[in-house]
Chain A
Amino acid sequence: MSIKAEHINYLYGEGTAFEQYALKDVSFEIRDGQFIGLIGHTGSGKSTLIQHLNGLLKASSGKIYYNGEDIYQDNYDRKSLRSKVGLVFQYPEHQLFEIDVFSDVCFGPKNQGFSKEEVESRAREALMQVRLEERFWHQSPFELSGGQKRRVAIAGVLAMRPEVLILDEPTAGLDPRGRDEILEEIAVLHRERGMSIILVSHSMEDIARYADRILVMNHGEKVFDAPPKEVFRHDKELEQIGLAAPQVTYVARRLREQGIPMPEDITTVEEAKKAILVLFDRRGKKSMSNDSRKAGDKI
């Protein structure tokens, strides 16, 4: 699996006075099994971009290749592309419509034309992947809690067995626990199923925790494309475009500015903790008596 975008431009209101670039000369390649964080403030073009990757929007110019095949070719099967590149929209629970959870999840594979047995086995698998308990399967989706609804909606896309899963702010509006559960499920899909993930998020903390590569969009252009540690080193530039690095990255930088030798690539709480504990150990300043063994184990 690979997605390759070459010089994608997308214009709104082409040919009118309101003509405006939503995407401007965007190129990148996503290889098998990557976990990509896509960030950018509202209106930066990230939602437009992901809709190009499964062929819902067509670029004004530029090419997109899926597994080396040009998706804009006349004979290319764009409908099946949509099942290979699963796209979970923002607030996906707003698309639920069936009388029960299970039928709703069946919608995707049914459209793919599979037999009833196959459709149902895919639906079951998908509902298990999002860890929705079986007792909810035959309830109306509208009676579930917000977090459960969202998981049903994600299962609705997973049931098509996509090779790539794109999620547009899958945690928006959820409480912290609901957010962590969804993110953990996505991480499992990536880790255990080898699915490629593109996660659109506003939370730098989440992105830093899960992504191995970050694409940053601003005004329709790709401004960064690198591993998190590298991208978050540019916290000044990120701030200029209305973004920021995770809090701990700032802590590490301030400490460094004060002459404390912190590593430059701290992006998660775990990493910060380890680095700080190393400093304390080195200086023997930590007044820890019985805790020392425990701390030593963790480092």
Chain B
Amino acid sequence: MIREITLGQYYPVDSVLHRMDPRTKLFGTMVFIVSLFLADSLAAYGIVTVFLATAVVLSRVPFGFMVRGLKAMIFLLLISVSFNLFLTPGTEIFRFGFLKITWEGIRLAGFMALRLIYLVIGSSVMTLTTTPNQLTDGLEKGLRLLKKVGVPVHEVSMMMSIALRFIPILVEETDKIMKAQMARGADFESGNLIQKARNMVPLLVPLFISAFRRATDLAMAMEARCYHGGEGRTKMKPLRYERRDGMAYLVYLLYLGAVIGMRYFHVAAGMMPKIA
């Protein structure tokens, strides 16, 4: 049933991370991504790993669920790993025709794979513990500063939240129109690319018309319920920082400091060369 599709991949359990303010989580994810690119040594990756592992454990989402997101990435992962593996110049360890594997290549490929994997897991920690609604709320409030420079933050987040509500409805509608046209002999599968594109017309036209109709209806319904933009609006569920959020920001600060510190430490001590 198409209706069962959930957007994002929220995993409903109760954990510290689930209860955390979405802004804190958004910011944390940003910090984490930045740190991935700052970390340039095994030791720094050690710190990154500890940080990520702590987050995973705190989220109480089964680890198997988290790595699921990796499956979709495997192809990308393989390509980037093999590029790095075979095409990095340096001390040769093994050669097969024009392909050679170098010591530097192995290092680089290893870190690259690690980075990608951590990136996916790190961002799934956020999407698994935050509902799409909280996410848009967090974005609206977290990006409040942008409003000062003229970015319509409230409108954008309202649009996102309406999109979240209507995507499942439109998906279902697509299915219905498709079937209705198939009942009139439409063919959405065979033919070359141009024919296929042309065959989509009987699906796309009704779908757009329906989307527009829904949009006008919705605009009217919103107006009837006194919607007049973000001005003077109150919130039923205002975002409020709790103590745990303060703690989290403190952890971020220490963490980022440590990762940056490691860079200087290594460069100064000359223990290991930089990797990227």
Chain A interface residues toward B at CB < 8 A: 12-13, 18, 51, 54, 56, 79, 82-83, 86-87, 89, 92, 94-97, 107-108, 110-112, 142, 156-157, 160
Task: Give, as a whole number of angstroms, the nearest-CB distance from B144 to chain A.
Answer: 40
In the bound complex, do residue B182 and residue A95 qualify as a contact, i.e. CB atoms below 8 Å apart?
no
Asked whether A12 and B1 contact (CB < 8 A) given A107-B202, A111-B184, A112-B185, the answer is: yes
Docked pose: A112 CA to B201 CA in angstroms: 18
Q: In the complex, which of the residues B173, B183, B201 contacts A82, with contact meaning CB atoms closer than 8 Å?
A: B183
Interface check B12, CB cutoff 8 A: no
CB distance from A248 to the nearest CB of B (A): 35
| Min C-beta distance of A82 to chain B, whole Å | 6
How far does the alpha carbon of A111 sit from the alpha carbon of B185 in the complex, in Å? 5
Task: Let me know if B1 and A56 touch, CB within 8 A.
Answer: no
Are B209 and A95 within 8 A (Cβ)? no
Could you say which of B4, B179, B209 contacts A56, with CB atoms under 8 Å apart? Answer: B179
CA A104 to CA B210, docked complex, whole Å: 17
Cα A54 to Cα B182 in complex, Å, equals 10
Interface size class of B (residues with CB under 8 A): 20 to 34
Set of chain B residues within 8 Å of A56, measured between Cβ atoms: 179, 182-183
A-B contact count (CB 8 A): 63
Residues in A neighbouring B183, C-beta threshold 8 A = 54, 56, 82, 86-87, 89, 157
Closest to A82 in B: B183
Q: Does B176 contact A (CB under 8 A)?
A: yes
Q: A82-B185, A95-B184 are in contact. List 7 more A-B contacts (CB 8 A).
A: A79-B187, A94-B176, A94-B209, A97-B209, A107-B184, A111-B184, A142-B209
Contacting B206 at CB < 8 Å: which of A12, A18, A95, A160?
Answer: A95
Contacts of B201 in A (CB 8 A): 97
Some 10 contacts from A to B, beta carbons below 8 A apart, are A82-B184, A89-B176, A95-B180, A96-B206, A97-B205, A97-B209, A107-B184, A107-B202, A111-B185, A111-B187
The distance in angstroms between the C-alpha atoms of A86 and B210, with both chains bound, is 23
Q: How far does the alpha carbon of A54 sit from the alpha carbon of B4 in the complex, in Å? A: 25
Q: How far is the CB of B52 from chain A (nearest CB, A)?
A: 30
Of the candidates A18, A86, A87, the one having the most CB atoms from chain B within 10 angstroms of its own CB is A87
Q: Mark B204-241, 1 if CB is under 8 A from A, else 0.
A: 01100110000000000000000000000000000000
Indicate whether B186 reaches chain A with its CB closer than 8 angstroms.
yes
Q: Are B185 and A13 in contact (CB under 8 A)?
A: no
Looking at A82, A97, A142, the one whose CB has the most chain B CB atoms below 10 A away is: A97
How many angstroms from the CA of A18 to the CA of B3 in the assembled complex?
A: 13
Looking at chain B's contact residues, the main secondary structure is: helix
- CB contacts (< 8 Å) of A92 on chain B: these are 180
Residue of A nearest to B183 (CB): A87
Task: Mark contacts of B9-25 with chain A using CB atoms, 8 A cut-off: 1 yes-contact digit, 0 otherwise.
Answer: 00000000000000000
CA distance A87 to B205 in the complex (A): 20
Complex Cα spacing A157 to B186, Å? 12
B6 at interface, CB cutoff 8 A? no
Q: Contacts A83-B185, A160-B185: A51 and B180 contacting too (C-beta < 8 A)?
A: no
A92 CA / B184 CA spacing, docked (Å): 11
B185 near A108 with CB under 8 A, answer yes
Q: Scan B172-200; emit 1 where CB is below 8 A from any A CB, else 0.
A: 01001101111111110000000000000
Tell me, in angstroms, the Cα distance from A79 to B206 when the chains sit together: 22
Report B180 CB to chain A, min CB distance, Å.
Answer: 4
A94-B180 contact, Cβ under 8 Å, with A12-B1, A13-B1, A142-B209:
yes
Contact of A97 among B185, B187, B206 (CB under 8 A): B206
Please judge, given known A-B contacts A18-B4, A107-B202, whether A95 and B181 are in contact too, CB under 8 Å: yes
Complexed CA–CA distance, A3 and B4 (Å):
32
Docked Cα-Cα span, A95 to B205, in Å, equals: 9
Chain A nearest CB: distance from B257 CB in Å?
45
Per-residue contact bits, chain B 85-97, to A (CB 8 Å; 1 contact, 0 not): 0000000000000
- The residues of B that contact A12 with a CB separation of less than 8 Å are 1
Query: Closest approach, in angstroms, between the C-beta of B118 and any C-beta of chain A?
Result: 30
Q: How far apart sit A107 and B180, CA to CA, in the bound complex (Å)?
A: 12
CB distance from B271 to the nearest CB of A (A): 52
A83→B183 CA distance, assembly (Å)? 7
Question: A87 vs B248: C-alpha distance in the bound complex, in angstroms?
Answer: 58
Q: How far is the CA of A51 from the CA of B173 in the complex (A)?
A: 16
Task: Tell me the complex Cα distance, A82–B182, Å.
Answer: 8
In the bound assembly, the distance between CA atoms of A219 and B182 in angstroms comes to: 27
Find the B residue at minimum CB distance from A153. B180
From B183, B205, B209, name the one whose CB has the most chain A CB atoms within 10 angstroms: B183
Considering the complex, give the chain B residue whose CB is closest to the CB of A85: B183
B253 to chain A, nearest CB (A): 43
